[in-house]
Amino acid sequence: MPLTLYTFSGAPRGWRVHLGLVFKGLSADVKYLSASDQDHRKPGFLAINPRAKIPVLEADQDVLRDSVAILAWLDRQYPERPLFGITASEAAESWQIVMDCCGYLRDGNHALLSRVFSGPDEAVDPNTPEGTEIGDAAALVHAECHYLEGILSDGRRYLGGEWPGAADAVAYPELRLVQRGAETKSTRMSALGFDGHLSRYPHLAAWKGRLNADAGVLQTMPPHWSN
């Protein structure tokens, strides 16, 4: 079945789907839309998704328009190497991590990195309104890093268990974006307690390192990062 994924370069929700495909050993024609050119609002794409949102996965007659729904569909359509675990207990834990990362980690990351990437590479005065906002966002991301660190502290290799699953597909883009922020805005991110190696979180750093070293995961990296 031919699969086509529409997304933006670096958009974490589309990145989740791309990783889910990789973890399943599936290939897809990945079409990167231009946000600056408003490709998602042009008639051709609106015919696919009238809500003008990404990601979208086309699979024959099926058109799926939500990242987590796409991951769930992939598990039904291609049951090998399940993304949401095998047992009911594994599925419950996987879904809990997925939904926590979709909410708390995504919200914190958006609030933090939207300010980091758009601002100068310098520490923010915590006594200013901007400093308070970015400090609160950083605290939320740190709290979620502590949460994931605890999950990985029992010796498991991935959030999904012995192989990466949906929880890893959702969490990885967020933490890789934190790494990107530390690489490109090192002064600002360091002042907020983040570096590219997530040194405060050794289990999380090792998990991220395993995924960073995976050739399939490398293929999902945002194309604009190499420019």
Instruction: Decide if domain 3-77 falls under CATH 3.40.30.10.
Output: yes
Token representation of residue 29: 């024609």
Residue 90 has pLDDT above 90, yes or no: yes
The CB-side HSE value for 203 (13 A sphere, CA atoms) comes to 15
115-138 exposure pattern, b = at least 16 Cβ within 10 A, e = fewer = bbeeeeeeebeeeeeeeeebbebb
Q: Tell me what pLDDT residue 220 has.
A: 98
Residue 219 has pLDDT above 70, yes or no: yes
Residue ranges of the domains in the chain?
3-77, 88-221
The structure's pTM equals 0.95
Please check whether residue 22 is in contact with residue 216, taking contact to mean a CB–CB distance below 8 angstroms. yes
Measure the CA angle with vertex 182, ends 179 and 186; round to 5°. Answer: 165
Token representation of residue 200: 């405060």
pLDDT tens digits for 111-170? 999 999 999 999 989 999 999 999 999 999 999 999 999 999 999 999 989 999 999 999
Q: Enumerate residues 6+ apart whose C-beta is below 8 A from 136.
A: 111
> What are the φ/ψ torsions at residue 6 (nearest 5 degrees)?
-105, 130
Q: Tell me what pLDDT residue 1 has.
A: 76
pLDDT tens digits for 196-212? 999 999 999 999 999 99
Topology, domain 88-221: Glutathione S-transferase Yfyf (Class Pi); Chain A, domain 2 (1.20.1050)
pLDDT tens digits for 70-82? 999 999 999 999 9
Q: Tell me what pLDDT residue 60 has.
A: 87
Percent of the chain with pLDDT over 70: 100
The DSSP call for residue 97 is H
Token representation of residue 108: 């914190």
End-to-end CA distance of the chain: 32
Return the closest-CA partner of residue 63 out of 6, 21, 24, 8: 6
Q: How confident is the model at residue 61 (pLDDT cuts 50, 70, 90)?
A: confident
- In the three-class reduction of DSSP (H, G, I as helix; E, B as strand; rest coil), residue 41 is classed as helix
Minimum mean pLDDT range among 5-14, 30-39, 47-56, 123-132: 123-132
Q: How confident is the model at residue 226 (pLDDT cuts 50, 70, 90)?
A: confident
